[in-house]
Structure 1
Amino acid sequence: MKNIICIAIVFLFGISTVKAENPEWGATGHRTIGEIASTYIKGKTKRKIADLLDGQSLALVSTFGDDIKSDKRYREFYSWHYINMPFDVKYEDSEKNPSGDLVLGIEKCKSIILDKTTSKQDKAFYLKLLVHLIGDLHQPMHVGKKEDKGGNGFQVQWFGKGTNLHSVWDSKMIEHYNMTYTELAINMNELSKDEVLSFKKGSVIDWVNETQTYAIEVYNSAEVGENLRYEYMYLNFQTVRTQLQKGGIRLAKVLDDLFA
């Protein structure tokens, strides 16, 4: 009987172990952010991006940062997708990852794109990576705890199936909502000009510190092993939508600043 129970537990939580190796907004989340950004960027920015990406959309290239994870040549970029820091410090006071983190990755991408000696091919590579990283910055669990790999080790259930808290915020709630990325982008909250400007305020570091406040709330939103269902979705999905919308608007700002 004990062996059967152990096998059941391994089966129940096996999915989350694999998922821990691939932390991300799900593809739909990243594409939503790219689609939203495309509606906010200036015409001049749009034309320059179209030239660099040979007409590919921001939504299409938004998953690039995760697409290349299976290629060993790009292992150096893996730590760029997240930041782990204690909840009682802000980014500027935290111990930095010697391999780099989200802030370093974003700034590196920007510097390469701005460098006049960089080839078009390299500019396109780092532009696609930048689009992805700005998206990651707005997923609360990408600014999570080091000890559980941003919630990847925080085991829960989602409608009775084993997973982890990171995965719930990456993709489970978005999948449950059952909209395409274009439908999500079109159906975001209507914002006034002042609200859009308020989202654009601040630096990348300010946005990281803001995302950390959401991460703290996420960790407090569930217990280890809890079966998260309709109530969790009801209480938390608006935060997901807000972060996707902020991510798109802020991505547009970063791109407008780059290509001004």
Structure 2
Amino acid sequence: MKTYKLLPILLAFTFVLSSVNASNPEWGATGHRTIGKIAEGYLTSKAKRKVEELLNGKSLALVSTFGDDIKSDKRYKEFYTWHYINMPFDVKYEDSEKNKDGDLVSGINKCKEVLLDKNASKEDKAFYLKMLVHLMGDLHQPMHVGRSEDKGGNDIQVRWFNDGTNLHSVWDSKMIEHYNMTFTELADNTDKISKEQIKYLQKGSIADWANETQQLAIKVYGSAEVGEKLGYNYVYNNFELVRSQLQVGGIRLAEVLNTIFS
């Protein structure tokens, strides 16, 4: 087994920007809510007012699971492919063959387009705002930019302590559940970073961020072998990356919303 330790946030400065797939609940509810809660702390006053108006006072944390909540409703099946990206590891998003039904990057850009449309109804804007919050979380879960042949790690069977699961689920929720913090506790205990670091993290396009997440996915694939029993040591070696991605996802979600509502 290959292990790696990555310091939160510092990781963002050492990537080579360079994207892929997934399915199933992304980050789980706790992870998505953490990202929403973190984002709220970085919103401008104007963005906060617009968000509160569109969501009728609901928080970003509350609506962050909306994209998964609607999966059981066939009326929304057109949005299913928006949760992930399929492409080879040696290809950047901009050079990849695009899914005709849409993907994570095109889905986020569609949400932005509707929110910027002065003629869009409040109902439509609220829907796409909730989708945007969710998809920005997906964008920072490494296994949602994973390989198509194993469905973003869903087909890589491993053991989590004594229970059978898959690598995708370990990164969606198993490690977060094991850490046993609420989303508010996770959001309140992010690492302290400078204004310069925040500005650095907010640079780039949605495609750039997808390419960045792909580099993390490659590392995640190398962190475990099929059938391996994962436990305390795996959490020790990998949970800092989870925390980092939740923080980065929240900061970038806020940047997207601030730009839209500026």
Residue of structure 2 equivalent to 1:237: 239
How far residue 57 of structure 1 moved from its aligned partner, in angstroms, is 0.2
CA shift for structure 1 position 115:
1.0
Aligned residue-pair number:
241
Q: CA deviation at 1:113?
A: 1.2
TM-score, normalization: structure 2?
0.91
Over the matched positions of the two proteins, sequence identity in percent amounts to 72
* SS, match of residue 163 in structure 1: strand
Q: Is the 8 A contact 1:23 1:166 kept in 2?
A: no
Instruction: Show the counterpart of 2:151.
Output: 149
Q: For residue 11 of structure 2, what is the aligned residue in structure 1?
A: none
Are the equivalent residues in 2 in contact too, given 1:139–1:211 (CA < 8 A)? Answer: yes
CA contact (8 A) 2:55 2:126 kept: yes
Amino acid at match of 1:168: V
Which residue does 1:114 correspond to in 2? 116
CA apart distance, 1:128: 0.2
Within 2, Cα distance between the matches of 1:38 and 1:130? Answer: 14
Alpha carbons 1:82, 1:102 under 8 Å: kept: yes
SS in 2 for 1:162: strand
- Which ranges of 4 or more aligned residues in structure 1 deviate by more than 2 Å? 20-23
Q: Which residue of 2 aligns with 1:163?
A: 165
Whichever residue aligns with residue 130 of structure 2, its letter is K
Higher percent of residues as helix: 1
Amino acid paired to 1:251: L
- Show CA shifts across 1:198-228 (max 9, x none): 1111111110000000000000000000000
Given the two structures, how large is their TM-score scaled by the length of structure 1? 0.91
Structure-2 residue corresponding to 1:73: 75
Structure 2 match to 1:57:
59
The residue identity in structure 1 corresponding to 2:200 is S
User: What CA deviation, in whole Å up to 9, does each residue of 1:140-183 have, x standing for no partner?
Assistant: 00000000110001111100210000000000000000000000
Matched to 1:210, the amino acid is E
What amino acid does structure 1 have at the position aligned with 2:80? Y
Residue 183 of structure 1 is matched in structure 2 by: 185
Match of 1:174 in 2: 176
Q: Give the C-alpha shift of residue 254 in structure 1.
A: 0.2
The equivalent of 1:202 in structure 2 is: 204
Contact 2:23 2:144 in 1 (8 A): no
- Cα offset for 1:22? 2.3
Residue 21 of structure 1, CA deviation: 6.2
Aligned twin of 1:132: 134
Give, in whole Å, the separation in 1 of the partners of 2:86 and 2:29. 22
Matching residue's letter, 1:124: A
Unaligned runs of 5+ in 1: 1-19
**How far apart, in 2, do the equivalents of 1:116 and 1:201 lie?**
26
- Contact 2:23–2:83 (CA<8 Å) still a contact in 1? no
